[in-house]
Amino acid sequence: MKSFLIDRYKKGGALRLGETPVPELRENDVLIEIRAAGVNPVDAKIRDGEFKLILRYRLPLILGSDLAGVVTRIGSKVTRFSPGDEVYAHPGQDRIGTFAEFIAVDQANVALKPKNLTMEEAASMPLVALTAWQALVERAKLQKGQKVLIHAGSGGVGTLAIQLAKHLGAHVATTTSTANIALVQSLGADVVIDYKKDDFETVLQGYDVVLNSLGKDTLEKSLAVLKPGGTLISISGPPDPDFARKSGLGWPLQLVTRLLSSGIRRKAKRRRINYSFLFMTANGGQLGQITSLIEAGEIRPVMDRVFPFEKTNEALAYVETGRAKGKVVITMK
């Protein structure tokens, strides 16, 4: 099968188009013919080697973490899916590889594709929708009437998190650039901070939750927005000791994460704020709940561009510019 892969870690390196074997099925796997795949900043970070200490991939490695497609074969113990089913999934960080014609995925990480979405739209959803769900529903336990600040509201995670927070009944603030104000308002944002004109930490106060996807400065400034007892969740780091333990990292890496996050954890504790780092995990059950929200019209995909499969390198380069509104997708058509 055709696939885009890396032979070694290299910052900014191009992916190589090559021929690789169709994956073998495990007993709980479904083999999916990929029709479309989402492109995410994490793909570039893996290529650059940013996660090589905590994600021990075997090279050469096919990249890609989002997919929509059709089940073609099933393992001996698969009960939830049949050949011909249209599905979408995040395959799990240990089994990435959606920039290819086929992939094998554990049935526990797969869900039926929303009936009202195209393959391209469905492929844009799993990683960002699961990230928003695990941050706001699972980790923050966001309640009706609470106030949440979602940074980078026009990005892939931001566009989904705003919609999910509004569905949960929260009051939503977000940061974005002047050009994207109308977009985030259309998604339900109650308060929009134009970061080119205003400092969010001087405008907002008394918030229950902040979801951060930006750098260290934004992370630390977010503490001023939260009330005592509030929750600060970051998907861009630094990793905390709890993440290291749950990931099964050895003592040396647990110590590294403790040191990396010591500054923000100390400042958060001083303000009686709960800080945690979120590294999204695959979950077909949660994706099924997200499917219900999509089919009910509660949340919708926000897509910027669709690239043909052969232009996967161009798609990844565009994502790296940071200018995408919503998601970028590659299609096998």
Report pLDDT digits (tens) over 250-292: 888 788 888 888 999 999 999 999 999 999 999 999 999 999 9
- Which segments of 36-138 does DSSP mark as H helices, in order? 41-48, 119-123, 126-133
Instruction: Please compute the mean of the pLDDT values over residues 131-142 and round it to a whole number.
Output: 98
CB 239 within 8 A of CB 219: no
Q: Any idea which fold 2-125+301-331 has?
A: Quinone Oxidoreductase; Chain A, domain 1 (3.90.180)
Residue at token pair 């529903």: 137
Predicted local confidence at residue 305, as pLDDT: 97
| More confident: 178 or 238 | 178
Q: Domain 127-277's class?
A: alpha beta
For 116-125, what is the mean pLDDT?
98
Note whether 111 and 30 are within 8 A (CB): no
Q: Report residue 243 as tokens.
A: 């993440």
pLDDT at 254: 82
Domain locations in the chain as residue ranges? 2-125+301-331, 127-277
pLDDT at 215 (0 to 100):
92
Residue 100 is classified by DSSP as B
DSSP letters, 19-35, are E-PPPPPPTTEEEEEEE
Average pLDDT of span 80-94: 97
The mean pLDDT of 227-239, rounded to a whole number, is 93
- Place 52 in a pLDDT band, splitting at 50, 70 and 90: confident
The pLDDT of residue 244: 79
The runs of H, that is alpha helices, within 188-328 are 200-203, 216-221, 241-246, 251-270, 284-295, 312-320
Q: Which residues pair with 88 in a beta bridge?
A: 68, 111
What is the model's pLDDT at position 259? 85
What's the CA gap between 145 and 215, in Å, rounded?
Answer: 28
* Whole-number percent of the chain with pLDDT over 70: 100
Give the Cα separation of 72 and 31 in Å (integer): 6
Measured CA to CA in angstroms, residue 96 lies from 23, 59, 76 at distances of 12, 12, 22
Where does the pLDDT of residue 161 fall: very low under 50, low under 70, confident under 90, or very high at 90 and above?
Answer: very high
Cα separation, 41 vs 211, whole angstroms: 17
| pLDDT at position 16 | 98
* CA pair distance 157, 142, nearest whole angstrom: 16
Averaged over 120-126, what is the pLDDT?
Answer: 98
**In the prediction, which pLDDT does 196 show?**
92
CB contact set of 217 (below 8 Å; sequence gap of 6+):
none
- pTM for the whole structure: 0.96
Residue 300: pLDDT band (50, 70, 90) is very high
Dist CA 96 CA 46 (whole Å): 10
Bridge-partner residues for 330, per DSSP?
A: 37, 307
Amino acid at 300: R
User: Could you give the CA distance from residue 327 to residue 187 in angstroms, rounded to a whole number?
Assistant: 15
Return the closest-CA partner of residue 151 out of 230, 75, 69, 233.
Answer: 233
**Res 251: pLDDT:** 80
Q: What sign has the CA pseudo-torsion 61, 308, 283, 162?
A: positive
**What mean pLDDT, rounded, does the chain reach?**
96
Phi and psi at residue 40, in whole multiples of 5°?
-130, 155
User: Which among 120, 17, 21, 106 is positioned nearest to 67, based on CA atoms?
Assistant: 120
Q: Is the pLDDT of residue 66 over 80?
A: yes
Evaluate whether 100 touches 43 at the Cβ level (below 8 Å).
no
Question: Is the confidence at residue 171, as pLDDT, over 80?
Answer: yes
